[in-house]
Amino acid sequence: MPQQPTPVAPKAVQPSQSPNAVPPQQIPNHAGMHPTPIPNHAGFASAPPQHQMVGQTATAADAPTPNPAMALGSPDPFIALSGMNKVQVSEKVRALEAVIGWEQNNVFRIKNEFGADVMVAKEETEWYKRNCCLGDCRPWDVDVALCPVAGAPPAPFIHLQRKWSLTCCCIGRPKVTVTDVTTNQKLGSVSDPWHCCDVTFVIRDHQGRKIMRVRGGGCQCGWCCHCPCGPCRKIKFPVFDAKTGREIASIRHEWGGLFKSMCTDADDYWIDFGEVQDPRWKSLLIATALFLDFRYFSRGADGLAA
């Protein structure tokens, strides 16, 4: 009899990987600080991309593109920041402060570009420092945390500290230090150097090297006329790369509604991260917007306006 052929088992077909899957090495890993190829600038990341020359400023094309759906839902705040292109920092109106003028701890809601609350920034300054140390000398502390989930209290991930200083013109210019709460490592600092006409800020990394500059023209209508409508509503603060001088992001101050403008010093800020991809740089830009509010738009405190 003819021999029957031995049946051959079909080979297992490996499931194809989804085209939208993101390789794990492209997602910024905050716990290790440097193991992933996030944008390289002045030693901020590990190794630069192969097509980028050492010392060259990283651009949006050089940085790995994060998965927004994965980043926005991540419990890691720095991974969440990597998936955000714009945020709105909105100061909450404090009823007691609006009625009697007693300076309270400021609270800021941080929303993504879709209008969803993603973070909250709370001032943690003692009452006597808020109401007795007036003017440019006032110290303050702010904690920034992800919005709580399922009733859990918000856990801060960065801390902003502005120490008391005797500030007068070019003497004792204020500086804010930004610290990673989870690792207790310094992320960088934001300083306000003296300028005769414009509002300027210098952003430095954890090693004290200049990485970004912010400059708001002093001739904008919003400085002179505090109006919640028309061209006087906005004040623009472009963000420039410290090496190339090219604009890479922007911060925009907007006056609130009629009630907010007349009765309180609560304002709104829009941060367009533009070409900035590093979540640590983004956290420094958020710190700059908060510093900007304390420095120039707070009534009876650091500010000149309101």
Longest dimension (CA), the chain: 108
Provide the residue type at 35 as one letter.
Answer: P
Domain ranges of the chain: 86-296
Bridge partner residues of 240 (DSSP) = 213, 247
pLDDT for 72: 53
Over the chain (306 residues), what is each successive 10-residue block's mean pLDDT?
A: 54 48 45 42 39 39 43 74 93 66 82 91 85 78 85 84 84 91 95 86 96 88 70 88 96 73 68 96 96 79 42
Residue 302's nearest CA partner among 196, 167, 177, 179 is 167
pLDDT for 239: 97
What separation in angstroms does the CA of 98 have from each of 29, 124, 176, 261, 299?
42, 19, 27, 11, 11
Residues whose CB is less than 8 angstroms from the CB of residue 128 and which lie 6 or more positions away in sequence, other chains included: none
**CA–CA distance, 290 with 73 (Å, rounded to integer):** 24
For residues 61 and 228, the answer to whether their CB atoms sit within 8 Å is no
pLDDT for 219: 78
pLDDT for 283: 96
Residue 197's nearest CA partner among 179, 215, 218, 225 is 218
pLDDT for 155: 83
For residues 62 and 49, the answer to whether their CB atoms sit within 8 Å is yes
The C-alpha angle with vertex 142 and arms to 137 and 144, in degrees rounded to 5, equals 155
Cα–chain center distance at 19: 31
Residues whose CB is less than 8 angstroms from the CB of residue 276 and which lie 6 or more positions away in sequence, other chains included: 239, 248, 249, 282, 285
